[in-house]
Chain A
Amino acid sequence: MSLPKIGLMIGDPGGVGPEVCVQAMASGRAQSRGDLVLIGNACAVERAVADTGVKLPVVAVSSMEEALNVEGLPVIECGALKRSEFEVGQSSAASGRAVKAWMDEAARLSQSGALDGWIMAPINSDSMRLASVADNLDALQPPGTFMFRLSGPLRAVPIAEHVPMRAIAATVTRERIEHVIGLTDANLRRWGIASPRIGVAGLNPHAMFEEDRDIIAPAVKAARAGGIIVEGPVTPDAVFRQCIQGKYDAVVTMYHDQGQIALKTAAFAGACTVYLGLDYVQLSVPHGTAYDIAGTGTAQYGSMVAAACTALDLAAGRGFLAMKDDEVAP
């Protein structure tokens, strides 16, 4: 296939998103894997170029084809943000509106096949609220998708996101577990893992209580009968270490913190999130807009490099390549 093409939506213009995007692109570390283009407004990119000292021209383009012929930093120009409408380090309605337009364009280009997918640089919940786009960032997650998070060899996808502990057991249903196992298996295969091995975490200590036995075990059994290589329920305190050691390609978890605690404790280089359930790859980076340091050019851009490498590899069906710390270090 031709080289994969990934868009970097620059994120909230007042945050560190535009800075880490231009630095990741200027570093050239991901481009041996495929082609990258920025999605946003040139004025916000120029701001980041000035703040980071990147010595590349910003070139507004209207398509990916055009971007491929550009020397410098190509930006697919969309939305109508003006430089006077946002301040570095602050949220604004104009920023929220612009981010919404950029997200829509990134999704449209990905759906149409012009791009193989896109990466979402950090956006800001206040800007999105001010623009009346969304009350919280969870509302911007594409419907029906699940957040597949990875950190080095550890990969985990929860069957539900931000659910209060009191309500978690009710979200643990056989249908949902089977669905996420199936989705995980299908995506891992598409991303280039020929025979994915999936571990399913139990819900309770040592996976030895009612839900583990009556809900999770039958779901795993049904998935296995459908030809998926899957084990579970696995003791939650052991399954993540087993994934790190290579026993599983991914872990399906029963609640948000179960996987998040393991991922953020292990904290390998190159952490990012992939949305399961889309026809293209969509990723986000595991940090926020960091308004306190926006404009200083000091934000670490290793996460964006890692996300770009991962997105290009997954889009090309090359699987997860091991990334060394220094490859994705800022």
Chain B
Amino acid sequence: MPAALTCGEPAGIGPELAAKAWRELGTDLPFFLIGDPTHLPGDCPVIVISDPAQTAAACVRGLPVLALPFPEPATPGAPARANAALVIDAIRTGVDLVQAGKASALCTNPIHKKALVDGAGFAHPGHTEFLAELAGVKNVVMMLASDALRVVPTTIHIPLAEVPGALNPGLIADTIRITHQALKRDFGIAHPRLAVAGLNPHAGEGGVIGGEEIATISPALEQLRAEGIELTGPMSADTMFHAAARKQYDAAICMYHDQALIPIKTLAFDSGVNVTLGLPFVRTSPDHGTALDIAGQGAANPTSLIAALRMARDMAQARAGG
């Protein structure tokens, strides 16, 4: 079964990345794009399909596109207001197809949130929350994954000063449970080992440098250990990501955005993949934005999208039982 790739913001680098990904992956990893075929670079062979089942045959000759006609052309760098609703429709279509069993996994190209707010009154903080609503789930978790490391931030796009107040044992426990289950189901790891970061320098050093480790994190970890989840922590964040330490766990649970993002991006700037855990289907996306400033020049680097498509395939296979 093919993977579905949404077009994302057509004025960004999504179209050229889709074309580059097809050139790289060809028939090895059949996927189809949901979007407007006219938005793609002129030199990309395009095969318009009417059903995802045609992907395998079509991808031999060109990039299979499940056509969703947009009202406006794609002007690199300048999102068209009238296109916003269709960008959202493409996501909706992708979710419908993957839920209906017509696509193996959903991979999403980046959206430009402001363009969607201005053009279509998009009311969700981001892609992930929108997907959770479409899927009817309340708690989802963001994972960043590369060959070297998997990280999960417990809190995401909030100011650092608000992180201590946002953390509570329930949130930490939910994040860990969802991650643990996903490692088993989607990554094929029978007995996942998790490492949990502290919040403060040196994980608080026994309460000397902040008390959240003792008051908030450890109680959650005790509860989870009682449930049989294998984890270590709260660990000093500055020593848990070096090469030897990374071998000791399958994913690192972090307390704030940059605690998770700094190590993975310092190690793998281009090949990190954003994965949403806790959805009823597999969803990955490249770990970058629409890059409006370089769109249309052919300069965009497809490494992360290619890695995202590969990871989507692997996860879908693991979920289907190998």
CB neighbours of A203 from chain B (8 A): 159-160
B25-33, B179-187, B263-271, B293-301 - the one binding chain A:
B263-271
Contact of A256 among B201, B265, B267 (CB under 8 A): B201
CB neighbours of A165 from chain B (8 A): 160, 163-164, 199-200, 210, 212, 256
In the assembled complex, B238 has its CB within 8 A of some CB on chain A: yes
CB neighbours of A114 from chain B (8 A): none
CB closest chain-A residue, reference B155: A205
Instruction: Kindly state the separation between the CA atoms of A255 and B156 in the bound complex, as whole angstroms.
Output: 18
CB neighbours of A263 from chain B (8 A): 238
In the assembled complex, A261 has its CB within 8 A of some CB on chain B: yes
Interface residues of A toward B: which range? 20 to 34
| Chain B interface main SS type | helix
Q: Are A266 and B156 in contact (CB under 8 A)?
A: no
CB neighbours of A258 from chain B (8 A): 258, 262
Provided the pairs A162-B202, A164-B210, A238-B265 are in contact, do residues A209 and B164 lie with their beta carbons within 8 angstroms? Answer: no
Q: Mark B149-176, 1 if CB is under 8 A from A, else 0.
A: 0000000111111011000000000000
CB neighbours of B241 from chain A (8 A): 261, 264-265
Q: Mark B254-295, 1 if CB is under 8 A from A, else 0.
A: 001111011101110100000000000000000000000000
Give the residues from 185 to 226 in chain A that come closer than 8 angstroms, CB to CB, to chain B: 203-206, 209-211
Q: Are B266 and A266 in contact (CB under 8 A)?
A: yes
Q: Are A262 and B261 in contact (CB under 8 A)?
A: no
Q: Are B263 and A261 in contact (CB under 8 A)?
A: yes
Q: Are B160 and A241 in contact (CB under 8 A)?
A: no
Provided the pairs A162-B201, A164-B200 are in contact, do residues A205 and B156 lie with their beta carbons within 8 angstroms? Answer: yes
Q: Mark B183-212, 1 if CB is under 8 A from A, else 0.
A: 000000000000000011110110001111
In the assembled complex, A237 has its CB within 8 A of some CB on chain B: yes
In the assembled complex, A80 has its CB within 8 A of some CB on chain B: no
In the assembled complex, A55 has its CB within 8 A of some CB on chain B: no
Interface centre among B157, B159, B237, B258 (most CB of A within 10 A): B258
- Given A203-B159, A241-B265, A265-B263, 16 more A-B residue pairs with CB atoms under 8 Å apart are A154-B266, A165-B160, A165-B210, A205-B160, A205-B258, A209-B159, A237-B262, A255-B201, A256-B201, A257-B259, A258-B258, A260-B201, A260-B238, A261-B263, A261-B266, A264-B241
**Which B residues fall within an 8 A CB radius of A?**
156-161, 163-164, 199-202, 204-205, 209-212, 237-239, 241-243, 256-259, 261-263, 265-267, 269
25 of the cross-chain contacts (CB-CB < 8 Å) are A154-B266, A163-B201, A164-B200, A165-B212, A166-B161, A169-B159, A169-B160, A204-B159, A205-B157, A205-B158, A205-B257, A205-B258, A236-B258, A236-B262, A237-B257, A237-B258, A241-B266, A244-B266, A255-B160, A255-B201, A257-B201, A257-B238, A260-B201, A262-B263, A265-B262
